[in-house]
Amino acid sequence: MKSFTVRDASWQDDTPALRTIREMVFIHEQQVPVELEWDEFDVSCLHVLALDSAGNPIGTARLLPDGHIGRMAVLREWRGRSVGSALLLWLLEEAKKRHLQQVIVNAQTYAAGFYTKFDFQTAGEEFIDAGIPHVRMVLQLS
């Protein structure tokens, strides 16, 4: 039985929950500099939020209007419990509803295998972003 739910989130209304997850995962755990975590794109993105059975935020991700998926973060104690998969599937459905031709993710290299399970293909060489190795991955939707 799934012990969490996923829903659309609003940057305006859900900022505290979204920021809490991203701060814990990216800033504290992965040591991403604060100034690199927050950007001007958050206000124009579709955000998705995973909540535990008590309504506490446990994961988030975003879809930019151009089809980039990013800022996928799941709290450590919830990893390996299909939260990331649920977030990604939600965003892929939204991308299809928006008639996007493809979605792109700049995946941390250790997570590339996760995206491969959803048929993302590596597109390019490894690069460093915020001090972390990444690889660009693309999924054709049409």
Q: For the residues 82-104, what does the mean pLDDT come to?
A: 97
Q: Among candidates 52, 75, 49, which has minimal Cα distance to 61?
A: 49
Q: Is the pLDDT of residue 1 over 60?
A: no
Rounded to whole angstroms, the Cα distance separating 38 from 12 reads: 14
Burial 96-111 (b: 16+ CB within 10 A, else e): eeeebeebbbebbeee
Query: Tokens in use for 91?
Result: 């965003």
pLDDT of residue 33: 87
The model's pTM: 0.94
What is the DSSP-derived secondary structure letter of residue 5? E
Give the model confidence (pLDDT) of 36-82 as tens digits: 888 999 999 999 999 999 999 999 999 999 999 999 999 999 999 99
pLDDT of residue 16: 96
Fold classification of 4-140 is Aminopeptidase (3.40.630)
Rounded to whole angstroms, the Cα distance separating 48 from 69 reads: 11
Q: For the residues 88-117, what does the mean pLDDT come to?
A: 96
Give the model confidence (pLDDT) of 15-46 as tens digits: 999 999 999 999 999 999 888 888 999 999 99
What is the DSSP-derived secondary structure letter of residue 87? H
What is the DSSP-derived secondary structure letter of residue 27? I
